Amino acid sequence: MQESISATALAGMIDHSLLHPTVTDDATIAGCELAKRYGVATVCIKPYAIEVVRENIEGSDVGICAVIAFPHGNSTTAIKVREAEDAVLRGAGEIDMVVNVGKVLGNDWDDVSSEIKAVNEVVVGNGAILKVIFENDYLEDAHIIKLCELCGRHKVAFAKTSTGYGFVKQANGMYAYRGATEEHLRLMRAHCPPEVAIKAAGGIRNLDEALRACRLGATRIGTSSTEAIIEEAKKRDGSTIR
């Protein structure tokens, strides 16, 4: 839990998200420029964009994070493994993979476990790290706890709250999502072993939301609001923000 953090350090915890279906190659290139300007951890992208991003972050410390089976996690394990391997071999140093939510809700834990294990093995075996996306909006606490245990068992690098696209049908027929909530971040940090880090993603649009995630134990933040967050951090306090 961090009581204070500099704007520069906060930027270094951000995966700058360029995942909306409407993001074009030009928007991806612009996102790379923003990522370099602020010194974020990675640019989080759709797998096809790896070459574009690699070319446009060359010479910087910004990494490449590619999403796998995004956003619904419905691919077969074999396809997830192949997609992850392909992304890493083309230059992604980090992989964010969505679990099979239906298998989680059906308590098919052997299948969920074997899938996480298989994807992590191919990612780590090729020198990258894996973040497992839970999509908490769809889950009960018991599912989240079990997923935390599996992430620990298979020694994945990060457990991640959400895709940002896990929309749940409401009573009025509209769809909404909550993303990285306080209760879920607390639950994940309590039940993941210390060596499994937490990535908060979904609904983090301003500095206060980013700082809340840090205080709750997240060490990586997924957001498309990087510029707004870091510019506010710079204004609020010259060197340290709380």
Q: How far is CA 213 from CA 107, 161, 205, in A?
A: 28, 11, 12
Active-site pick, 36, 80, 131, 199: 199
242 pLDDT band (50/70/90 cuts)?
very low
Strands 168-169 and 175-176: antiparallel
3-class secondary-structure state, position 65: strand
Tokens describing residue 225:
């609001």
Does residue 155 carry a catalytic annotation? no
| Domain topology for 7-236 | TIM Barrel (3.20.20)
| Other CB atoms within 10 Å distance of the CB of residue 51 | 10
Alpha carbon 28 to chain centroid, angstroms: 17
Query: The pTM is what?
Result: 0.94
CB atoms within 10 A of CB 63: 20
Model pLDDT for residues 57-104, shown as the tens digit of each residue:
999 999 999 999 999 999 999 999 999 999 999 999 999 999 999 999
Residue 111 a catalytic site member:
no
Q: What is the pLDDT of residues 5-41, one digit of tens each?
A: 889 999 999 999 999 999 999 999 999 999 999 999 9
From the candidates 15, 80, 96, 146, which is the catalytic residue? 96
Decide if 199 is catalytic: yes
E strands present in the chain = 14-18, 42-45, 63-68, 94-98, 129-133, 158-160, 168-169, 175-176, 197-201, 220-223
The residues, any chain, with a CB within 8 Å of residue 5's CB and separated by 6 or more, are 211, 214, 240, 241
Give the H/E segment covering residue 109: helix 109-125
